[in-house]
């Protein structure tokens, strides 16, 4: 009976949120992957039907111009791809195409920063694999340049790669990940180290797919001008990433792909990395991806995972029956099953049909109570709290081997004595599809967790100084401001010792608990006696993602 | 020859053709999409993708666009189906075409008078409170708080009433199909 009441209250809440979204003229999550029952979907359709009695909300006046720009950018890109489609080398493209493309851009003013990034993204989507020589140069504050490394690299759209270090630090080292295994050939030690192919947080510097992704997700991009680099005409783009120091990209005007990258000056050092040669391929040559142990070399297995052929085998090793998804989200299929030997974690790996997306489902017996990472947003799965991370930065609990996975998101939760996580280079909606296919309950994203509470005492905020603090954190200072618990600890401690903190903080980090964090607002509760503050309210005022700092906006006195 | 009826060949595609195409057709295409998704954000997004895809397709296939609006609508409908189907991980339970028979093939994207009548009749079958909550929340677009104030109810009561109203309405519409 209670369950029914809870379901009903969940349905009414969801329906209300759906109507609110449409009233705000925003896309409801149900249109983008949230799975609901057919009955619920029928209700949403009824809402849309009734809404058709209203006149549609029309876009802003400049929409037709924006539309023309986007459509025209596609037109121009397509012209360039036709040249890319065939394997090409430097100096091998007809000059006429360049002139047409540049003339089109120049005429229409279409080579705006957004178009430059869009064009890169589209150009990259046409590339299947490439092979290039990368040169990595450092420059010190006096302007002295040193070649750090020269590498020969192969990479493909499915994330497979091979890196041979030709010159410089660690020359001779070969790293390969062919999606079945990852290995290092270390000539100095005469050893071949074996690793699990996934997760593999390693990416060689200036890997083009990652580079385009980073530019796409940047806070801001700006065109600085044009330059000829290595005999190629390029557009120079300044990229302001979300967090971190701005850097420059030189984008080939013909291929629309990055050719050179220069980091900002950090600790009196600046790095430049460039493709001195590049060719585009249909695939990486098979011999470059084939596993072989050079004569006289020893193999050392560093893979703590046992790959098994069925769930039954996994059960024998891990000692428990894992929950397996009932209906896989469309276009995903099972790829492998393995058991992490040290932790007894069963790992089910799924891949999209085109091989570009990967989702891993992890399950193990829980160790103690569920404790979400303090920097993570908190949502719900059924009635349980769940940790949401994007990207996966903190490797708590079952996510131990996944920390620092750029471009990956994760959802982690605990239920009935088991700990679960889904992690993948996919949207939260797709991950939620996996969670729900396990029968774990309905997923409520952190941003949809209602937040109605207000602090009893408001703390005034000076936006200018908050923005400056954010800049300072972006430059790598005071990273603790990204952790709401740490910010609360400092705030409460200063309330207790306004003259400043000497020695240990008067309130312990462990005694502060995140009771709410939807990625924008967070509430921390103090679980320690004799502290003048009971709850601290904070908000991400400048940026609402993992790179945004937390600022105290109020508190409840004890 | 009226602009709308002029056939477009992929080879003719240049910037001015794209501009003309967008200016001439965007509103019809946007309204057609909005009719289905009922929110501006998604309608703008799908409209943009429709033109980008249509142009890529025309250039790739060297295709001919005989009836621009009807071609663009078909593209947009494919995008919408793709997105909703892909996102939900299974075929859509509610087939939008079935709910609006004949809608896809006709150029009339606005609410037909018959459909308007069907919805109005269904609304009239609700009790007064339910009809009022639907009108305030969906047709007029008031928030739960504003609706609660107008109806002199708590916010929780408004949410429950609205759920029951939509559920009833859905049943009535289903039975009248």
Within a domain: residue B105? no
Predicted ipTM beyond 0.90: no
- Tell me what the mean pLDDT of segment A472-499 comes to: 86
What pLDDT score does A151 carry? Answer: 92
Q: Does the beta carbon of A51 lie under 8 angstroms from any beta carbon of chain B?
A: yes
- Same domain? For B84 and B170 the reply is no
What's the CA gap between B164 and A54, in Å, rounded? 22
Q: Give yes or no for a contact between A433 and A35, defined as CB atoms under 8 angstroms apart.
A: yes
Query: Are B123 and B92 part of one and the same domain?
Result: no
Q: Are residues B94 and B48 part of one domain?
A: yes
Q: Do A56 and B31 touch (CB under 8 A)?
A: yes
CB proximity list for A442: less than 8 A, separation 6 or greater: A10, A36, A380, A381, A382, A436
Residues B48 and B88 in one domain: yes
Radius of gyration of chain A (CA): 26
**Residue B29 to residue B75: CA distance in whole angstroms:** 10
Lowest-confidence region among A71-85, A239-253, B99-113 = B99-113
Decide if pLDDT at A96 tops 60.
no
Distance of alpha carbon B111 from alpha carbon A521, whole angstroms:
41
Q: In A, residues 76-95, which contact B (CB 8 Å cutoff)?
A: 78
The answer to whether A78 contacts B55, with C-beta atoms less than 8 Å apart, is yes
Which conformational region is residue A519 in: left (phi greater than 0), alpha (psi within -120 to 50 degrees), or beta?
A: left
Contact A330 B167 (CB under 8 A): no
- Quick one: B144 and B94 in the same domain? no
Q: State whether residue B40 sits within 8 Å of chain A by CB.
A: yes
- Residue ending a domain, among B53, B73, B99, is B99
Domain end (from B49, B68, B99): B99
- In this predicted structure, the answer to whether residue A1 has a pLDDT above a threshold of 60 is no
The CATH number of whichever domain residue B118 belongs to comes to 1.10.10.10
Indicate the SS3 state at residue B33.
Answer: helix
In a domain, B125, yes or no: yes
Cα A114 from chain centroid (whole Å): 20
Question: Residue B172: which domain range?
Answer: 113-176
Between A18-32, A145-159, B67-81, the lowest mean confidence (pLDDT) is in B67-81
On whether both B19 and B86 belong to a single domain, the answer is: yes
Instruction: Answer yes or no: do B59 and B28 share one domain.
Output: yes
If asked whether residues B161 and B122 sit together in one domain, one would say yes
Percent of chain B whose pLDDT exceeds 90: 28
Q: Is residue B106 part of a domain?
A: no
Q: How confident is the model at residue A254 (pLDDT cuts 50, 70, 90)?
A: confident
Q: Identify the pLDDT of residue B14.
A: 65
Asked if residue B54 and residue B18 are part of one domain, the reply reads yes
Q: How far apart are CA B36 and CA B73, in angstroms?
A: 12
Domain boundary among B40, B69, B99: B99
User: What beta strand segments (E) does A329-403 contain?
Assistant: 332-340, 345-352, 358-365, 377-381, 384-389
Which residues does chain A have within 8 Å of residue B86's beta carbon, measured at their own beta carbons?
330-331
* Helix or strand run (H / E) with residue B59: helix B40-61
Nearest one of A413, A410, A417, A409 to A442, comparing CA atoms: A413
B21 inside domain: yes
Q: Is residue B107 part of a domain?
A: no
Q: Summarize pLDDT for B68-109 with one digit per residue, the tens.
A: 788 888 888 888 887 776 555 443 333 333 323 233 333 444
For A329-384, the pLDDT digits (tens) are: 778 888 888 888 878 899 999 988 877 888 999 999 998 888 888 878 888 898 88
Question: For residue B138, which residues of chain A lie inside 8 Å, CB to CB?
Answer: 19, 22, 47, 50-51
Task: Please indicate whether, in this complex, the C-beta atoms of B170 and A43 are within 8 angstroms of each other.
Answer: yes
Contact A233, A225 (CB under 8 A): no
Residues of B (42-81) whose Cβ lies below 8 Å from A = 42-45, 47-48, 51-52, 55-56, 59-60
What is the share, in percent, of chain A residues with pLDDT greater than 90? 24
Q: What is the predicted pLDDT for the residue at A201?
A: 65
Here the CATH number for the domain that contains residue B69 is 1.10.1740
For residues B117 and B95, state if they share a domain. Answer: no
**If pLDDT is split at 50, 70 and 90, which confidence band does A77 have?**
very low
Q: Does residue B120 lie in a domain region?
A: yes
HEC string of A261-328 equals EECCCECCEEEEEEEEEEEEECCCCHHHHCCCCCCCCEEEECCCEEEECCHHHHHHHHCCCCCCCCCC
Q: Give tens-digit pLDDT for B107-155.
A: 444 556 778 888 888 999 999 999 999 999 998 888 999 899 888 899 9
Query: Hey, how many other C-beta atoms are within 10 angstroms of the C-beta on B102?
Result: 9
Residue of chain B whose alpha carbon sits nearest to that of A22: B39
pLDDT score at A236: 93
Residues of A whose CB is below 8 A from B109: none
pLDDT band at A389 (very low <50, low <70, confident <90, very high): confident
Q: Same domain for B19 and B73?
A: yes
- Tell me the mean pLDDT in the region A225-233: 87
Q: Which residue has the higher pLDDT, B29 or A11?
A: B29
pLDDT digits 0-9 by tens, A424-451: 988 888 899 899 888 888 888 887 666 6
Asked if B116 has any chain A CB less than 8 Å from its own CB, the reply is yes
Average pLDDT for A384-396: 82
B91 and B8 in one domain? Answer: yes
Domains contained in chain B, number: 2
Q: In what order do the strands lie in the sheet with A232-240?
A: A220-229, A232-240, A247-252, A258-262, A269-281, A129-140, A145-156, A161-168, A174-177, A182-186, A191-195, A298-301
> Is B157 a domain residue?
yes
pLDDT at site B85: 66
For residue A488, pLDDT over 90 is answered with yes
A70 — contact with chain B (CB < 8 Å)? yes
């Amino acid at each position: 009976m209670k369950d029914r009441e809870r379901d009903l209250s969940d349905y009414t809440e969801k329906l209300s949120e759906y109507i609110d979204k449409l009233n705000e003229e925003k896309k409801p999550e149900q249109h983008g992957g949230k799975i609901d029952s057919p009955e619920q979907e029928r209700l949403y359709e009824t809402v849309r039907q009734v809404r058709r009695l209203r006149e549609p909300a029309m876009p802003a006046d400049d929409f037709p111009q924006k539309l023309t720009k986007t459509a025209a950018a596609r037109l121009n890109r397509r012209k360039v791809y036709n040249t890319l489609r065939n394997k090409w080398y430097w100096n091998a493209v007809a000059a006429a195409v360049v002139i047409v493309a540049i003339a089109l851009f120049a005429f229409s003013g279409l080579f705006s920063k957004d178009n430059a990034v869009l064009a890169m993204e589209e150009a990259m989507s046409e590339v299947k694999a490439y092979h290039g020589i990368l040169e990595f140069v450092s420059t010190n504050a006096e302007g002295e340049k040193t070649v750090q490394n020269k590498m020969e690299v192969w990479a493909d759209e499915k994330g497979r790669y091979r890196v041979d270090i030709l010159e410089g630090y660690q020359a001779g080292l070969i790293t390969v990940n062919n999606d079945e295994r990852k290995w290092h050939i270390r000539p100095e030690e005469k050893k071949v180290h074996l690793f699990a192919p996934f997760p593999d947080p390693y990416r060689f510097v200036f890997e083009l797919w990652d580079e385009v992704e980073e530019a796409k997700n940047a806070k801001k991009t700006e065109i600085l001008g044009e330059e000829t680099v290595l005999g190629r005409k390029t557009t120079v783009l300044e990229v302001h990433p979300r967090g971190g120091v701005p850097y420059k990209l030189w984008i080939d005007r013909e291929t629309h792909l990055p050719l050179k990258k220069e980091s900002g000056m950090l600790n009196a050092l600046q790095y430049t990395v460039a493709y001195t040669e590049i060719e585009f391929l249909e695939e990486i040559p098979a011999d470059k991806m084939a596993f072989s142990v050079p004569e006289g070399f020893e193999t050392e297995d560093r893979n703590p995972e046992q790959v098994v052929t069925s769930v039954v085998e996994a059960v024998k090793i891990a000692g428990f029956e894992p929950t397996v998804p009932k209906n896989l989200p469309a276009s995903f299929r099972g790829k492998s099953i393995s058991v992490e030997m040290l932790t007894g974690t069963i790992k089910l790996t799924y891949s999209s049909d085109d091989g570009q997306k990967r989702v891993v489902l992890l399950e193990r017996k829980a160790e103690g109570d569920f404790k979400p990472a303090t920097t993570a947003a908190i949502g719900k799965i059924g009635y349980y709290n769940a940790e949401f991370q994007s990207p996966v930065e903190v490797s708590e609990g079952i996510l131990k081997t996944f920390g620092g996975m750029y471009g990956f998101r994760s959802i982690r939760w605990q239920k009935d004595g088991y700990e679960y996580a889904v992690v993948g280079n996919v949207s939260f909606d797709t991950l939620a599809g996996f969670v729900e296919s396990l029968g774990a309950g309905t997923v409520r994203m952190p941003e949809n967790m209602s937040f109605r509470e207000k602090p009893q005492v408001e703390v005034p905020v000076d936006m200018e100084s908050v923005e400056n603090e954010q800049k300072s954190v972006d430059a790598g200072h005071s990273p603790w401001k990204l952790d709401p618990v740490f910010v609360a600890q400092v705030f409460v401690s200063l309330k207790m010792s306004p003259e400043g903190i000497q020695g240990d903080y008067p309130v312990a980090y462990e005694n502060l608990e995140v009771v709410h964090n939807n990625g924008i607002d967070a509430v921390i509760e103090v679980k320690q006696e004799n502290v003048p503050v009971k709850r601290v309210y904070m908000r991400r005022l400048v940026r609402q993602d993992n790179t945004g700092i937390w600022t105290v906006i109020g508190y409840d006195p004890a | 020859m009226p602009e709308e009826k002029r056939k477009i060949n992929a080879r003719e595609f240049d910037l001015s053709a794209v501009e003309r195409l967008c200016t001439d057709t965007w509103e019809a295409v946007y309204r057609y999409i909005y009719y289905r998704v009922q929110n501006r954000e998604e309608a703008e997004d799908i409209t943009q993708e429709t033109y980008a895809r249509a142009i890529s397709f025309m250039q790739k296939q060297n295709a001919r666009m005989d009836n621009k609006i009807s071609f663009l609508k078909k593209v947009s409908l494919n995008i919408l189906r793709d997105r909703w189907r892909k996102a939900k991980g299974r075929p859509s339970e509610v087939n939008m075409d079935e709910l609006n028979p004949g809608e896809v093939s006709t150029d009339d994207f606005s609410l037909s008078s018959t459909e308007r009548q069907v919805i109005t009749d269904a609304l009239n079958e609700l009790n007064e409170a339910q009809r009022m909550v639907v009108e305030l929340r969906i047709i007029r677009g008031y928030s739960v708080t504003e609706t609660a104030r107008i109806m002199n109810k708590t916010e929780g009561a408004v949410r429950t009433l609205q759920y029951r109203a939509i559920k009833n309405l859905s049943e009535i519409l289903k039975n009248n199909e």
